[in-house]
Amino acid sequence: MRRSDCDQTVRIFDRRLGSVCEENVYRGRAMRWLYGTRIGFIASEFAAMTGTVNRAFGAWYRRDGSRAVIESFVKEHDIDLSEASQPLEAYRDFNAFFERRLKAEARPVDHAPESLIAAADARLMAYEISDKLVIPVKGRAFSIRGLTGGLAMDLLGPSGTCLVLRLAPADYHRFHYIDAGEQVVLGRLGGLWRAVSPLSLAWQRPVFEQNRRDVTLVRTANFGPMVQIEVGALMVGQVNQSLPDCCRVSRGGEKGWFSIGASTIVQLFSERAVRIDADIWQKSKDGIETRVRFGEKIGCKGSGHTCGRNANSLAMAIEGH
């Protein structure tokens, strides 16, 4: 890989501003070394297989001295502290701040039964599922069998919709249920801890099929069976679940959270179960991620690929901002 390939940016559509901006993926010399040299590639594969980096990284940011990092992190990423459920001085270490909860009013949830909501603060891409394959605009195609370990092959059918929600390090890192229903944890798979950044995906590594991941079936009230996969990643210390493996769930309720790092959520829907908002669908076709917030409408119930954007939902999203 050439040096210039490591200084990539990804294009992000901001729904509130109605414009596309660029997000810098490359961060520091370490990332250039990992993704731009042969020795770095070997080192990153070793880290992915052993989990050594994750354990060390997690331990470092759980020590008391890591509190000193919080303030600079907040300034660098322009994090709105008024949304946090606790004042800054209440967080004992950096990881505690990373796992922070938000005030309920910071993320109003669209409770209209027909509204499909975002499960997390994230950068979102929507794809069609065809012949049980998800084929991104750019990057490596992945199979439903590989993604779920074959656990969801008979639950969804050969076609449908796939949502990939990429959480950046500065994001709110708790994730939530998109609808009321019943959940069954199908399995906890994989054992690798590769990075899930666009740079890692550009290497064509089978991240979503080999990384540590939790696979859950949620029989939703309005969107039929939905399979959700939380994907662990390099420097993500742990995927944590809030509820028992089998239980009733509610729309907007907390499903779990990621410990320190960046991470990804993948959601799979049956054919004709959901329609994605037209702006998100078009941007995804153009290879552009859309920034979304937990609780806002991103689609609706029903067949077809796209639906119009609900004006009330947009107003809620802007108020939540």
270 is catalytic: no
pLDDT, tens digit, for every residue of 274-315?
A: 999 999 999 999 999 999 999 999 999 986 566 765 434 443
Task: Yes or no: say if 10 and 202 are a contact pair by the CB < 8 Å rule.
Answer: no
**What confidence tier does 32 reach under pLDDT thresholds 50, 70, 90?**
low
Mean pLDDT of 187-213: 67
Lowest mean pLDDT among 22-31, 144-153, 232-241: 22-31
Catalytic: which of 66, 171, 176, 313? 176
In whole angstroms, give the CA distance from residue 122 to residue 167.
5
131 is catalytic: no
Which pLDDT score, from 0 to 100, does residue 55 have? 64
121 is catalytic: yes
pLDDT, tens digit, for every residue of 208-230?
A: 776 788 999 999 999 999 999 99
Please count the other Cβ atoms lying within 10 Å of the Cβ belonging to residue 199. Answer: 22
In whole angstroms, give the CA distance from residue 221 to residue 302.
13
Which pLDDT score, from 0 to 100, does residue 31 have? 53
In whole angstroms, give the CA distance from residue 180 to residue 219.
8
Q: For 150, which DSSP code? A: T
Catalytic: which of 44, 197, 263, 284? 263
pLDDT, tens digit, for every residue of 75-108?
A: 999 999 999 999 999 999 999 999 999 999 999 9
What's this model's pTM, rounded to 2 decimal places? 0.84
3-state secondary structure 263-292: EEEEEEEECCCEEEEHHHHHHHHCCCEEEE
Selected residue with higher pLDDT from 319 and 77: 77
Catalytic: which of 93, 110, 121, 171? 121
Tokens matching residue 42: 């070997």
Mean pLDDT of 234-256: 89
* Percent of the chain at pLDDT exceeding 90: 53
Which pLDDT score, from 0 to 100, does residue 317 have? 40
Lowest mean pLDDT among 50-59, 172-181, 214-223, 228-237: 50-59
